[in-house]
Each structure stands twice: as C-alpha cells, then as structure tokens.
Chain A
Amino acid sequence: MRNQLIIRGCLERARFTLDLDLSIDLDEPLGIMGATGAGKTTLLRIIAGLEPDFTGSVAFCGEVWRDGMIDRVPTHQRGLGVAFQDSRLLPGRTVENNLNFATQRAPAVDSRLDYMTLVEALDLQHLLRESVDSLSGGERQRVALARALLARPRLLLLDEPLSANDSAHRQQVIAHIGDWMSAEGTPFIYVSHAAAELAQLTRQVLILDQGAVRALGKTGALLEAGNVVSGTGPLSLAAVVVAKDHGSRTATLEFTDSDHAVGALGQGERVVVCREVSEGSGLDAPLQPESDEDQH
C-alpha cells in the first residue's frame, strides 16, 4: 500500500475514450506501452493533474489527488517529477537555469542523487551555459530528465524520455535510471515503445490499446516474446502456443488465432523468449507489426 496508485474514471478523446479502473502497486516500477494514440501520455497527464476533463478519482499513497471533477491536490503540490517526450524546457534560458528552476522548488530531502552527479551522468556538463533553444532533441530530453529528477519527486513520470537520443545515450541513461531509482526508492512510471527498455527498467507493464487497458502484469510474462514487439503499428496481444522449445530460451511460437498468422512472427519462425517455456503452453504475446500491411 505504500506506493499504491489508484485511478478510476474516464476521459473522452476524439480518437478514443480512456476508461480506467486501475489499482497499481508502484513499489515495483511500472512500464506503459501501446501504439501511438493508445492513451499512454494521456494516462500520465491524468496522474499529473493536467487533464481537467477527466472525471473520476486519482489517489496515491492513500492521498486523494482528484475526486470527480475537482483536484483535491493541485499539480504543483503532488510532488511529481515529469519528463515529457517533447521536453517542455523554459525557452530562452540556459540549461543551468532550467535545472535551477527544479532545484529551487524541490523539497529538502536527503538524496544521494546530487546536481553534479546527474549533470555528468546525463552528459550535460558542457551544455550548462548553453541556451536550451540551441540544443538538439536528444540533449533537450536529457535536460528534461535531469530537471524531473532534481525536483526530488515522490513519483517520477517518464514519457518516452529518451526517444530522441541515440542508442548509446539511451543505454547509458537507462542503466543510470534503474540504479538511481532503486537507490532512492522513488516509484516511477516509464512509457516507451521499446520492449527492451521496459524489460530492463520495469517489473510490471500496462498495455494500452485505443484507450483500453489490454493487459497489466509482470514485465517478464507480458514481454516474454519481447522481440516480437518491434514494429511501429498498433499493438495487440496475440494468443500463441509454444510449438517447440529449442532450449536456451528460444522457441517456435504458433498463433492460435489464424488471423494473426502473418507479419512480424511467421509460422515456424524461432523467437527468443524472456523466460523458460514449456511446449504446448499458451501465452499472450504482444504483437506490433512493422507496417500497415502487417496489420491483419
């Protein structure tokens, strides 16, 4: 119950209605995945109190943040750190000024995650005096991530915080995030399209599809056919059975629903799975086709 997040209610959007009835223990990091437009960012915005049209309740650690249409705790008092995908830095100011904006408003708590550690780990030391307007997309995202961490949050919300970074920076920063958060004990939610990042950082995953919760469970179980989740199309869960276990966590999966038997995972193709499986067992594998042509 220590880091229990409860969200109940709905929010209508042009493309979908987000209908939520969630009670999630955030003692273990949560990943959120789903196709573009599935409602991932909207869900984070509801938690942050940035969706005034959301009707329902939001509570964290037993503290009611929203009740019906009323914010009991406004955004600035929720103790959040949010790294938005589009960075949202204060324009016209330096990197240092943006980071200071967070530190000046952060609660006085003991933390081993100090300013210089963060700046160096996120490779920002040479950018401190630069205007944020002159930064690349990846650099802006790393500044936004540092700023969210320097807010000393009770709950950290990361919305594809590294999507504009190259793979080297992504790997480096993801490793740091995992270490920092476990050392600080800060609960966090990580939104990403990348199954590998979620597998590395989170212990539980919520899969959204057009505003609906398709699955919530352990990361290992949900991403057991992790390499299947590799495309850019709409995500769906496909029922598969383990046709043959080849050992060393490789198996041949077969779709039980013939409608899915095309695309990213062809019949008889070997895939790497994230846990031991036994032949004949059934699984729900997240399937994300590479292109529209695969979406049957």
Chain B
Amino acid sequence: MPDDMQAVWLTVLLAGVTTLLLFPIASPLAWWLARSDSKGRSLVEAVVAMPLVLPPTVLGFYLLVMLNPESFVGGLWFNVTGESLTFSFSGLVIASVIYSLPFMVQPLHATFRAVPVPVLEAAATLGASPRDQWLNVVLPMAKRGYLTGGVLTFAHTVGEFGVVLMMGGNIPGETRVLSIAIYEHVETLNYQAAHSLALGLMCFSFLSLWLVYRYTGHRFEVVR
C-alpha cells in the first residue's frame, strides 16, 4: 500500500508538472493556429492532434528512440545533467507534454478563435500594445478555455499508460504511476488493490469531466 500511495503522489506530480508546462507551451501555439492564415497551419494542426489517434505504444516507442542516451537529444541531456531521459521522471514529463499537447491546445484554440478581432483592434486604438491586448483582453476572455485545457490535460495525464510504460517502465518512486500500478496488481492477481486504484481513477475522471461541463458551459472540442 505504501507503494500505491507513492504511485498516487507520483501521478499527481506528473500531471501537475505536465499541465503547468503546457500552459506556456500551448498558449502561443494555439494563438497562432487561431489567427494564422498560413498554408502550413493545417500541417501543424495535424501534427499537434496526432497523439489523439496514434496508439500510445507507437508514440512511446519513437520517444524511446529519440530520447535514449544514444540519441542526439538524449545524449545532450545526459551530458548536461548526468541522467538518462529514458526510465526517469524527467523523461516521463517530456513524453506526457507531447502526449497531452492536443488536450491543452484544442480548447485554447477554440477559445482564442472566439476572441473577436474588432475588439482587439479597438483595444489597439486605445493604446494597448499587442502584449497589453494579450494580457488584458485575450486572457480574461479565455478563462474558460484555460480551465477546460487544464482539467483535461491533468485528467488525461493521470490516466496515461502506454506511453508511460514504453518510456518509463515500472520503477517505484520514479516512473511507477497509477496506471502502471493497476497493471502490476492485475498481473500479480491482486484484484482487490487493482480495484481500489481503478475505482479511484474512475471517480476522478468523472469529477474532472463534470467540472469542465459544469463551469465552462459548453462541450470541449477534443475528439478522440
């Protein structure tokens, strides 16, 4: 049971860090997608949405290939920090950020698209710089989008399995998150422990979605 509590804490930590990192990463990306007329926009949209349709094991496999210490990125990380990205918490965070990217980008994209350009033009004529417009016009209008994106990203990261298994394995205190713990309990025929964790995850998922529907007043756009 102490291992399970450790898994709960690690899962919450992973989901929290992933969500916090995705706010600044997804915001400019979603803004660009909402405002750009570039021909490359649909290409970027497709790349961002890929984790929605890609089997997690496929994504996990390529992340393993790209981030192992023999690769350029993984080698660079190893030289700087002295740690491997594979089978580590840091590697899990990077994998989760990539895997959960569409769950943050899509609600933000929808909310940014709803900010009327004429309102931003009016703000500019009143002396608001682009940064000022972003902070004092766009952000207040995008609160619901951020709430939706935050809740969905957190909940999705909590439920990750395939990518985590491929990238992190099952190291207690380092990469053994809730979904891995449930899998291990089933493998060892400890159904009682598996049931406790699974029920907890189910309740959490339900509460997350209820929160989104209750406080945003509209359906989120992530389609899987």
Let me know if A86 and B125 touch, CB within 8 A: no
| B contact residues around A76 at 8 Å (CB) | 124-130, 132
For residue A246, CB closer than 8 A to chain B, the reply is no
For residue B76, CB closer than 8 A to chain A, the reply is no
| B contact residues around A86 at 8 Å (CB) | 118
Min CB–CB distance B126 → chain A (angstroms): 5
Docked CA distance A105–B133 (Å) = 12
How many residues from A make CB contacts under 8 Å with B? 28
Docked CA distance A91–B117 (Å) = 12
- The SS class assigned to the B binding surface is helix
| B contact residues around A148 at 8 Å (CB) | 125-126
| B contact residues around A101 at 8 Å (CB) | 123, 126, 128, 136
How many residues from B make CB contacts under 8 Å with A? 18
Which chain A residue shows the least CB distance to B129?
A: A76
| A contact residues around B132 at 8 Å (CB) | 76, 105
Cβ < 8 Å to A, chain B residues 101-143: 116, 118-119, 121-130, 132, 136-137, 140-141
Let me know if B129 and A88 touch, CB within 8 A: no
Docked CA distance A144–B118 (Å) = 13
For residue A102, CB closer than 8 A to chain B, the reply is yes
- Nearest 4 Cβ contacts at the A-B interface: A105-B127, A88-B122, A82-B125, A75-B124
A-B contact pairs, 25 of them (CB 8 A): A48-B121, A49-B124, A74-B129, A75-B124, A76-B126, A79-B127, A81-B125, A81-B126, A82-B122, A84-B122, A88-B118, A88-B119, A89-B122, A90-B123, A90-B137, A91-B116, A92-B141, A101-B123, A102-B126, A105-B127, A105-B132, A144-B122, A147-B126, A148-B126, A157-B125
